[in-house]
Amino acid sequence: MKLFSSVNDVADINALVKEALKLKQNPYANQDLGKNKTLALIFLNPSLRTRMSTQKAALNLGMNVMVLNIDKEGWALELRDGVIMDGSTVEHIREAAGVMGQYADIIGVRSFPGLRNREEDYSEMIFNKFVAFCKVPVVSLESATRHPLQSLADLITIEELKTTARPKVVLTWAPHIKPLPQAVPNSFAEWMCKADVDFTIAQPKGYELCADFTQGANITYDQDEALTGADFIYVKNWSAYEPYGNILGKNEEWMLTNEKLKITNDAKVMHCLPVRRNLELSDEILDGPNSVVVHEAGNRVWAAQAVLKQMLESL
Ligand code: SN0
């Protein structure tokens, strides 16, 4: 594997999940594979799970790891071509990414969307420039429109915890005070549409995701209808795709509670984290027996390790 930016870069998602679960059983079996190989993790935005789990995954494979919080510790990056750099930007992404490719065998990049210019965000301008200029394999650590390592960890979690062959999985919108990216729900939707699950998305009117990511999903504005008989509930806020990046009212009644769990099949509750308690998800759910959010975050290691292993094998 030379690029991991979406589910479309994966030849066989079931095989990748199996590989991840095998690594979970025997994390240090491939210590020689990463010997003298270097992973550089480049963050343009904050991270806890992605940073630590990807670093741990690389160490399990015997790799060396370098982390650069380029937004705080690097030179201010210029992304546009053909401009006179007489303002605040110091270094062009062409040189910056090119240099990183000299130091690393694999590069991971995190870059959130600006949520102002939809065309720019959905063209994955920043992520694609890193890919083009660094000239080594690149793994997405969440880009403007997708978070594939998260989605792979989510699928691993569902595979591990499911009690029926084809579980009902519901992605439900949750309230928030800030406009958040569509990357996590887009990505979760496109992975679930390819997985062997019965997949439903529930959201208030106006929060429809870009249809490119939701082909084959059941889509409803009725949260109760969606939750009925659910085996897994994936809770996430996102801002509107149209008008792009907007918040369309509080919709506080969309927060999941124990009362709402009664109509589910004792559903397991998932969230990519970070989660704002009692805004997106109630204390009673997060501290109760149905929450699997910490277990899910634990699986981020095996998702990253399965992907890095395939990349190392193709170097
Ligand atoms: C990010 C998102 O894409 O929704 C990262 C998720 C892995 N979440 C946030 O930016 C949360 C910010 C906040 O203020 O709650």
Among protein residues, the one with the nearest Cα to ligand 1's atom 11 is: 274
- Mean of the pLDDT values across residues 136-141? 98
- pLDDT (0 to 100) of residue 74: 93
Amino acid at 216: G
Amino acid at 286: L
- pLDDT (0 to 100) of residue 286: 98
3-146+300-314 and 150-297 share one CATH topology?
yes
- Asked if 135 contacts 281 with a C-beta cutoff of 8 angstroms, the reply is no
| Percentage with pLDDT > 70 across the chain | 100
Would you place residue 16 in the very low, low, confident or very high pLDDT band (cuts 50, 70, 90)? very high
Sign of CA dihedral 226, 228, 234, 239: positive
pLDDT digits (tens, 9 = 90+) for 21-70: 999 999 999 999 999 999 999 999 999 999 999 999 999 999 999 999 99
Q: Is the CB of 184 under 6 A from ligand 1?
A: yes
- Asked if 121 contacts 114 with a C-beta cutoff of 8 angstroms, the reply is yes
Homologous superfamily of 3-146+300-314: Aspartate/ornithine carbamoyltransferase (3.40.50.1370)
- pLDDT (0 to 100) of residue 274: 98
CB within 8 Å of 277: residues ≥ 6 apart: 283, 286
- pLDDT (0 to 100) of residue 180: 98
- Mean of the pLDDT values across residues 260-277? 98
CB within 8 Å of 146: residues ≥ 6 apart: 5, 6, 140, 183, 186, 187, 190
Would you place residue 198 in the very low, low, confident or very high pLDDT band (cuts 50, 70, 90)? very high
- pLDDT (0 to 100) of residue 276: 98
Would you place residue 153 in the very low, low, confident or very high pLDDT band (cuts 50, 70, 90)? very high
DSSP per residue over 250-293, as a string? --GGGSB-HHHHTTSSS-EEE--S---BTTTB-HHHHTSTTB-H
| Alpha-carbon gap, residue 302 to 304, rounded angstroms | 5
- Mean of the pLDDT values across residues 209-227? 98
Q: What is the rounded average pLDDT for all residues in the chain?
A: 98
Centroid of ligand 1 to alpha carbon of 29 (angstroms): 34
* Token pair recorded at residue 37: 């190989």
- pLDDT (0 to 100) of residue 119: 98
CATH of the domain spanning 150-297: 3.40.50.1370
| Alpha-carbon gap, residue 155 to 151, rounded angstroms | 6
Would you place residue 89 in the very low, low, confident or very high pLDDT band (cuts 50, 70, 90)? very high
- Mean of the pLDDT values across residues 154-176? 98
- pLDDT (0 to 100) of residue 97: 98
- pLDDT (0 to 100) of residue 93: 98
* Token pair recorded at residue 304: 């990253």
- pLDDT (0 to 100) of residue 258: 97
Amino acid at 151: S
pLDDT digits (tens, 9 = 90+) for 90-135: 999 999 999 999 999 999 999 999 999 999 999 999 999 999 999 9
* Token pair recorded at residue 135: 């000239």
Q: Is the CB of 46 under 6 A from ligand 1?
A: no
- Compute the C-alpha angle 241/53/132, nearest 5°: 60
Amino acid at 27: P
Burial state string for 248-276 with b = 16 or more CB within 10 A and e = fewer than 16: eeebeebbbeeebbeebbebbbbbbeebe
**Could you tell me which of 182, 106, 195 has the C-alpha nearest to residue 146?**
182
- pLDDT (0 to 100) of residue 103: 98
Q: Where are the domains of the chain?
A: 3-146+300-314, 150-297
- Asked if 188 contacts 177 with a C-beta cutoff of 8 angstroms, the reply is no
Quick one: which atom of ligand 1 is closest to the CA of 272? 7
Q: Is the CB of 180 under 6 A from ligand 1?
A: yes
The three-class DSSP label of residue 164 is: coil
Quick one: which atom of ligand 1 is closest to the CA of 275? 15
Centroid of ligand 1 to alpha carbon of 174 (angstroms): 12
Centroid of ligand 1 to alpha carbon of 62 (angstroms): 30
Q: What is the H or E stretch that residue 14 is in?
A: helix 13-25
| Alpha-carbon gap, residue 82 to 263, rounded angstroms | 58
- pLDDT (0 to 100) of residue 58: 98
CA dihedral angle for residue 189, residue 190, residue 192, residue 195, rounded to 10 degrees: 180
* Token pair recorded at residue 266: 């004792």
CB within 8 Å of 15: residues ≥ 6 apart: none
CA-based max dimension of the chain: 61
- Mean of the pLDDT values across residues 287-315? 98
268-270, strands of its sheet edge to edge: 218-220, 198-202, 168-173, 232-236, 268-270
